Every structure is written in structure tokens, then in C-alpha cells.
Amino acid sequence: MGIKDTSGVELSSYIFATNRGGVLNPGNTVLSLLISVLFAIWLVLVTTGVWLPGQTVGFGWLNMFSAPLKAVADNLTAQIATPMMLATAVAIGAFFVAWFIVRGYHAKAMMQILTMVAVAILGPLFLAAPLAEVLSSDGLLVQGRDLGISVAAGLNGDSNPNPNQLVARMQADMADNFARKPLQVWNFGHIVDDRPSCKAAWSAGVMAGDEDRVKNGMKTCGDTVAHAAADNPSVGQIGAGLLLLLSAAILLLFAAYLAIKVIWAALDTIYYGFMSIFGFAAGGFVYGPTQTFTVRSVVHGFVAAARMAIFVIFLGLYELFLGSLFQQARGQVMSVFVIGAIVEIVAILQLRRLSKSLDSGNDWITNRFAMAIQSGFAREGSGGGGGTALGMGTAGAGNSMAGLGLFAAASTLSGSPITSWLAGGVRDPGQPGARDQMRANRLQWGMAKEFGEEMINPHYDRRSMGDFAKSGIRSSRAHPKSQLAAAYAAEAISNLTGGNMQPVSAALTKAGIGWRTAQKATAVQADILRHVEAEPLPSAHLARVLAAHKHFESDWQDPGWSEARLGGLRAAVGRYRHHNAGGVTLPAGIVKLGNDYFENPGQPFIENLQKVANGSAGATPIRWEKAPGDVRTLQKREAERLEKWITNEHALRVDAATEWVSQNPTDFHRIRRLREEINNASDTNNWQAGRPSTGATSLAPPWKSDTNPLPDIPAAILNNSRHP
């Protein structure tokens, strides 16, 4: 690519001077190899990023195919711009003049005459060399480029610029800022060019392609720090290389984007130059869209020159800003590269916005010219014309009404029953896909005739599912579109279908819950049911609570799932509490037995209580105090009622602990309290069924110590759960 820095050193000659290691120093060998790979990729990216803007603005690419394009344009002109074509186009244009005069549109007639005269005068000048104004050395594109370079040079302090020399100088400055200085910081930890002797030594060593000469040159010029850094490769150099590689990639992206915009503007101008051949040969004489297109083609050529100048000025401002950054940084190249990468990304977005503004401005100018030509400078609403130009995306008023009438007549004819009968029963045969729609309708009618009510039954099922979902939403006592309401609705549908999750999402959305909320609630419910089989408790409702709590406790810190998991837990606890709602009244002495059990749950008490309830002979008598001094033995019926009271009390405490957690789901001590209550309930449930309590059928008990005690559920919440 032939890119040189300001010292005359080609970028392709750059080397990374380091210690390559050897058999006795394998560490340096590995590090130097990794650095070499990064350096090779970085050198390609940064060289291309520096080369592209200069190559694009220098128009070297345009010179390669300017001659073939000129030849094609000349041949096209010879085929189209014939006397017969000219006479025909002038005759058509004269007809419009006569038509406007007959209709009384004298201003439009005069404007049509002036337009034809202008085309007749400018046409031969343009058709003599169609693309000369675009591709010649002093054409519009080159003039726009030169203007942009002159402004950019003025911004950089050059009052008498030479465009070709300035492009090379811009490339050299970019080579210094983006290649030479960063490489020195990468290699040596600082810029060695600050010392003239070190600068000369580095340039000489690089041009010779000798790493040892570069390192010895640093030592000779007195920069021992640079010599030590080059002789001791480190992991930090790999990190610096990765940072420079990322910055070089962003630089290349900016250069490529700018090059595409500049080349696109040039090729657009060439395209419209070809289209102008048709306009000046014939289309410019004919009133209407062809005249508008001729105007667009001419205007676009001039706007392209302005576009070229603006893009080059943009590049000059960008180079000036980054150059000033490097000067102010005083050797802190890495920090400038981080800032520069951000600036380049912003520059891409700003250049894109600038390009869109130029496009809209081009369309606005073209439309104004076309309106002036076709309206004859008449005021909007007068006999002379309207406010829009033909061919610019909106038709004139008269043509619009005529076109609308034609479309209305066609639509009426297509929708007529007579037309449908003539077309073999196809409804509205003018519509696309009318026959396919007819076949689909006949197939549906046939299915309805054969299956009848069986086709309608699924709709009844969906309505029924939606009603059950609404009942679940009402039972949640929450906002009908909230995640908690969705959890209760999913629980209701799952309970109704026996665990079939297929209709849950559809039922929730039919009940008015948002799709994303419904999807989360469905996923939570599916996770609970999937793990119930892994929690083989005698009580299926308690097994759901156990599975729901495990999922909640694993995701309580995940903002995307904590709310949905808590909703699923509250819905499962609600059903568990509903099936163990209470209603067992016991004397205070027996209630004290139950409370004593909750203070210290144990399998022996439950097994003995069951023996008393079953009337087994080996049961140990259980004493309770009805009144002071009145001690009695627990009877069979009293033992049965105490068993049920304990089950209900577990559900009450789990419900109260869940409500307490829901008030502050981020308090892990409350979550520990809830885990304790669920674990106690599952242990009791296993013991009542004669099963041992294992890790698969219970939660891990929370750790308790003097420094980490379990908090108590507030009495107000317990009482509220006791009397919901």
C-alpha cells in the first residue's frame, strides 16, 4: 500500500523488537510468539485503516475505470441522441404547450417553453462529452474533493494547500498517530521519538528490518527503559496488543464506512450522469415525470460535489481532533486510543446522520425545481397547478381524482355478485389469492358439515380454561395483570387439568394477562410439577410447596425470575393452606401439647400420638391438664383431632411465613424462617405416613447458632393467617 510515516518509514516495514527466547528461555519464546501474532494482525488492520481514506479521497480508484465509462457514455449518446428522437420529443413537448394554452394555463405553457429551450441549449453541451463534468480532472467530483481538502487544510493551519500533497501528508500524520506512536508505546512502554537520537535509531533499525539493531539503538541513545522493555517480553504487552487490536479494528471500520460513503456518492453521480443522457436527448422536452427525472439527475450531480466536499471536511475535522488529542496526551497513547475508539464510533453514527440529511436535502432541492417547472410558478390552488411535482411520489390533484375514480370502478366491478358467478363462485376475483381463499373456504365448510359440534368443542374448552384462569386471578387478590395473579391462574389451570401444562399459557392470555407474564408463570408452574415427582411426600400439596420453595430460594436474587418464583410459591402455599384451612377446636391443655411439639418436633411424639389415635395397646399414655390439678389422659378421639390440628397448624405457619417473605423478598433471614417451617411440615407429614424423613423429602434445615438465630414470625401476621 506504500504508506509512510512522517519520517519516511513504510508501515509495512514496522517490526516489534523483543527477546525471542530459546531453548533455555521457553517463556520468552511463547510470549514473543503470541505478541508476533497480535502484531501481524494489528499491522494489517491499522495499515488498511490509514490507507483507505487517502486512497478514497485521492481518487486513485476512479482513474481506473473513468476511461471505460466515458467510452460507454459516448456510445450510448450516439445511439440515443439522434435527430429523429429529438424531433419526436420536441413534438410531444409542443403538444403539452398547446394543451396548456387551450385550457387557459398560460403560466404553465410559458414555463414548458422555457424548459424546452433550456434543455435544447444545455443538451448539446452535455451530450458532447456526457461524463466529462463528472469524471474529468476538473469535474464536479474532483472540485468537491479539492474544496473539502482546502477547508480541512485550513483547519490544520495550511493556507495554501496542494490537494495531492495534502492527502499524502494526512496519511503520514495518521501513520504517526495510529501506527508509529502506538507501536513504540506497545514495544517500549513510552514514545521514543521524544528523543531525536532515539527517533533516528528506531527509524534506521526498522528500515533495516533488524530487531537487534533497534534494541541496540535504544541502548546507544541512552533509553535504558526502552532497551529493558524490548529485551523482556511480558504478559502486559499482550494485553496492550489486544487493546491496540480493538482500536485498530474500530479505525478500519470508520475508514471503510467513510470510503463507502465517498465511493457511493461518486458512483451515484456517475449513474445519474448516464440517466441525464436520456433526459437531454429526449425526456427533458416531455412534460411530467421525465422532466422531473432530468432535473433530479442534473441536481444530483451538483449535490454530489457538495457531498464530496462535506465528507472530506468531516475527515479533516476528525483528523484535526485526533491529532490534537495525541499532542495533548503527551505520550499517554493508550488513553487516547480508548477515547479515540469512542470518538470513531460516534463519528460513524454522525456521518450516517449527515449522509441522511444530505439525501433529504437533495430530494427537497429536486422537488422544488420540479414544482417550479411544472406549476409555472403559479400559486397553489390557482388554475396553473398544485403543490407537488409529478414523479416525486405524489400525483397532481386532477390526475389523483381520475385515478381514484378508475380504481373505485374496478373495485366495484370485482366485488359484484355477478362477477363472482361468472368467475365460478370466486368471491372478489380481482383480489390476489382469491381462488386459494375459495378453496380454503370450501374445505372448511366441508369439515363443518362432517364434524359439526366436534369442531366447536375446543372453543368451549378454551373459554372454560379462561374462566378458571380468571377465578385464580380473583383468588390472588392482586392486580389482574400482575405476576402474582398469573401464578394463581396457572396454579388453578394446572390443578384443573391434573398437571397438563399445554393449555396454561393460552388460558392466561385469554384471561387478560400479558404474554410475557403468562410465559413466566407457565414456566414456573412447569418447574414445580416437574420436581414434585422428585419430592415424594404423602401430601401432594405440600410437595408442591417444597418444590416451589427450592426454585424460589435458588433464584431469589435473580431480578428476572425472583418475582415469578415468589408468585409460584405463594400460589402453591395458598392451595396447601386451602386444603388445611383449620376448623379443629381443642381445649387449651391439648393445644399446649401441640405447641410443645412445634417447639421441639420429633418423630417419637407423632408415632405415639398415632398409636393413641389408633387405640394400639403399646401406646404410652399422653397426659394433659384440663384445669389446675385436673390432669387427664389423652383419649382416642382427642388424639385424632390433635393430629389434624397439627397438620392445619403447619399450613398456617407456612402461610404466615410466606406472607412475611413476600413483604420483603430480599431479606434472607425471613427466607430461612420459611424454609424451617416447610421443613418441619414435611418431616411431620413423613412421620404421620410412617416414613423416615430424608434429604429427598425435606429441605436442608437452616443453620442456627447464637450468632445466627432464626427470627420469629410476627404475631400480627400469624393472627392474620389464622383468621384470613
Residue 241 near residue 226, CB atoms below 8 Å: no
Task: Tell me how many degrees the CA angle 5-8-11 measures, rounded to the nearest 5.
Answer: 50
The Cβ of residue 592 has, within 10 Å, a number of other Cβ atoms equal to: 13
pLDDT band at 204 (very low <50, low <70, confident <90, very high): very high
pLDDT band at 415 (very low <50, low <70, confident <90, very high): low
**Per-residue pLDDT averaged across 219-240, rounded?**
87
**Per-residue pLDDT averaged across 278-299, rounded?**
78
The whole-model pTM stands at 0.47
pLDDT band at 381 (very low <50, low <70, confident <90, very high): very low
**Per-residue pLDDT averaged across 29-39, rounded?**
90
Residue 202 near residue 230, CB atoms below 8 Å: no
**pLDDT tens-digit profile of 116-151?**
888 888 877 777 777 766 666 666 677 777 777 777
Cell of 428: 372478489
HSE-CB at 485 with a 13 A cutoff on CA atoms is 20
Question: Rounded CA gap, 56 and 141, in Å?
Answer: 12
Work out the percent of the chain whose per-residue pLDDT is above 70: 79
Give the Å distances, CA to CA, from 450 to 168, 440, 443, 456, 632: 83, 16, 11, 12, 75
**Per-residue pLDDT averaged across 59-88, rounded?**
76
Residue 357 near residue 87, CB atoms below 8 Å: no
DSSP letter, residue 176: I
For the chain, the 3-state helix, strand and coil shares in percent, each to the nearest 5, are 75, 0, 25
Residue 623 has phi, psi (to 5 degrees) of -95, 145
Query: How do the domains of the chain map onto residue ranges?
Result: 11-62+137-375, 417-451, 588-722
Q: Would the pLDDT of 454 be above 70?
A: no
4: closest CA among 45, 54, 41, 40? Answer: 54
Winning range, highest mean pLDDT, from 19-33, 259-273, 461-475, 538-552: 538-552
Mean pLDDT of the chain: 78
Q: Please give the pLDDT value at position 470.
A: 83
pLDDT band at 163 (very low <50, low <70, confident <90, very high): low
Which of 420-424, 479-483, 639-643, 654-658 shows the lowest per-residue confidence on average (mean pLDDT)?
420-424
Residue 424, exposed/middle/buried by CB under 10 A (0-12, 13-18, 19+)?
A: exposed
Q: Please give the pLDDT value at position 1.
A: 82
Sign of CA dihedral 376, 378, 381, 387: positive
pLDDT band at 691 (very low <50, low <70, confident <90, very high): confident
For the chain, state the CA radius of gyration. 43
Higher pLDDT among residues 292 and 380, named by residue = 292
Q: Please give the pLDDT value at position 396.
A: 41
Which of 322-326, 411-415, 445-449, 623-627 shows the lowest per-residue confidence on average (mean pLDDT)?
411-415
* 187: three-class secondary structure by DSSP: helix
pLDDT band at 203 (very low <50, low <70, confident <90, very high): very high
Q: Would the pLDDT of 378 be above 50?
A: no
Residues 6+ apart with CB under 8 A from 204: 213, 217
